[in-house]
Amino acid sequence: METLNTAPSSQMPVWNTALRYGGFCAAAMVVLSLLIYITNFNVMALSGLAVMYISMFGICFATAAIGTKYQRDQLDGGYITYGKAVLVGLLIVLVGMFVSSLWNYILVNFIDPNYVAGMKEQFVAAWGEKMPAESLEEALKGFDKTGDLLTNIKNGIIGGLVIGLIVGLITAAFLKKQPETTKF
């Protein structure tokens, strides 16, 4: 009978899990983006921002939790340290946010170049009377950077690191599992 040669849990790489579940995270975020785009959902209103961010965090938590559980149960023999679980969650969200930022670049530059103008109109309608003119003008200038590739990549990486760290820390707290040690 042949035995399986498995590496200890600290030796199992996380990249396969991070890329697989990061891809699922990215696909779900692209679908969310498409739904927002197709329905012309106003994400510039406070309620729209809340719905968008709650949905985004839900996607990140779900894919990070499922991916971390997969790493723990299927690849690491049922055990995963807190640090490794944080890393898996962080990388999953980072991959998802990075790919999603590339999708947003494609959307605003090639699919619908007028999309940013529509977002500006929604922003002015939601916040125009509530902001000083100088602040409004500065905020509208920020929308012009939406079509810049480097800005999208930077925002995807920074957002992925920040949100990924938050999500990774929380999911790791629930999914970590150390082997039991006997005490004499």
Tell me, what's the pLDDT at 10?
53
Tell me, what's the pLDDT at 9?
43
Instruction: Spell out the per-residue pLDDT of the chain, length 184, in tens.
Output: 454 444 444 557 899 999 999 999 999 999 999 999 999 999 999 999 999 999 999 999 999 999 999 999 999 999 999 999 999 999 999 999 999 999 999 999 999 999 999 999 999 998 888 888 888 888 888 888 888 999 999 999 999 999 999 999 999 999 999 887 766 6
Determine the Cα–Cα distance for residues 39 and 46; give it in Å rounded to an integer.
17
Sequence-separated contacts (24+) of 54-60 with Cβ below 8 Å: 56/29, 56/32, 56/163, 57/163, 57/167, 59/25, 59/28, 59/29, 59/32, 59/96, 60/25, 60/92, 60/93, 60/96, 60/163, 60/164, 60/167
Q: What separation in angstroms does the CA of 90 have from each of 24, 25, 36, 47, 165? A: 14, 12, 25, 27, 5
Please check whether residue 136 is in contact with residue 121, taking contact to mean a CB–CB distance below 8 angstroms.
no
Q: What is the token pair recorded at 109?
A: 């530059």
pLDDT digits (tens, 9 = 90+) for 14-33: 999 999 999 999 999 999 99
Q: What is the token pair recorded at 138?
A: 């500065």
Please tell me the pTM assigned to this model: 0.88
